[in-house]
Structure 1
């Protein structure tokens, strides 16, 4: 497979994780503590997803042995 879909998907998910992390900090600063944990958890989940996409890309690029 080409690397363009993997790179795009990984970049978009990492940007989403960054935006959600910033939102979590803003929520904490504005006193919405009840939402901070959920948003922060989802932010970490986006970073993990981005890392797994990169792992999939690396594994897909390896030569296959039959």
Structure 2
């Protein structure tokens, strides 16, 4: 597979994780403590997904055994 889909999906997912992390900080600052844990958890999940996308790209680039 080509490199472009893996890179773009990984970057977009990491950007979403960053945005959600910033949102969690804003929620905490404005007193919405009941939502902070959920948003922060989803942010971490986005970073893990981005990392797994990179791992998939690396594994796809290796030669396949016949």
Interval containing the TM-score (normalised by the shorter chain): over 0.9
Scaled by the length of structure 2, the TM-score of the pair is: 0.98
| Alpha-carbon RMSD | 0.4
Give the unaligned 5+ runs of structure 1. none
Normalised TM-score (structure 1):
0.98
Q: Unpaired segments of 5 or more residues in structure 2?
A: none
Deviation readout 1:20-47 (Å, 9 max, x if unpaired): 0000000000000000000000000000
Report the count of equivalent residues.
66
